[in-house]
Amino acid sequence: MLLYDEQGGLIVATVRRDLIQAYKDQISEGKMHTLNNFEVARNNKQHLPVKNDLIIKFTPYTTIFQEQETQATIQDEVFMIHPLDRLNERNNKSDYSIDVVGLLTGVEEKTWVNVGPNKSPIRRIYIEDPK
């Protein structure tokens, strides 16, 4: 997930698979939260939707408090939206991610591919330019 702070900074936050159930109902998109007891680590370059060398990792001791303010204001200029046709040039590249806006027109069933010694699930999605 991407977290946005009061100063306009963005950072990637991750939750280990075995902790997802513990935290999934505690975080609401667009709401303001206070986080405590998390780990800050160097970004291993696997999570690059924003330019930040650090990453937040939830631990079993992380606590989350939803603030009373009902809606956070996120500035649109924080995200750099690229034209949909830029996805083709990013195919099979994982050095960073880009944001695009499109109309979701189809989703295929999950299949499995070999990624090194492991198998990883993928799902083909179809997006069209909304213009």
pLDDT for 56-108, tens place per residue?
999 999 999 988 865 556 665 566 678 888 888 887 776 667 778 888 899 99
Same domain? For 92 and 64 the reply is no
Same domain? For 82 and 30 the reply is no
Tell me the three state secondary structure of residue 22. helix
- For the question of whether the overall pTM of this predicted structure is more than 0.75, the answer is no
Same domain? For 70 and 101 the reply is no
Enclosing H/E stretch for 20: helix 20-23
Q: d(Cα 34, Cα 98) in Å, to the nearest integer?
A: 27
Amino acid (1-letter code) at residue 106:
G
Residue 118 has pLDDT above 80, yes or no: yes
Q: State which residues form the domain around 87.
A: 78-128
SS3 content of the chain, % helix, strand, coil (to 5): 10, 35, 55
Domain tally for the chain? 2
- In the predicted model, what is the mean pLDDT of residues 36-43? 91
Same domain? For 69 and 82 the reply is no
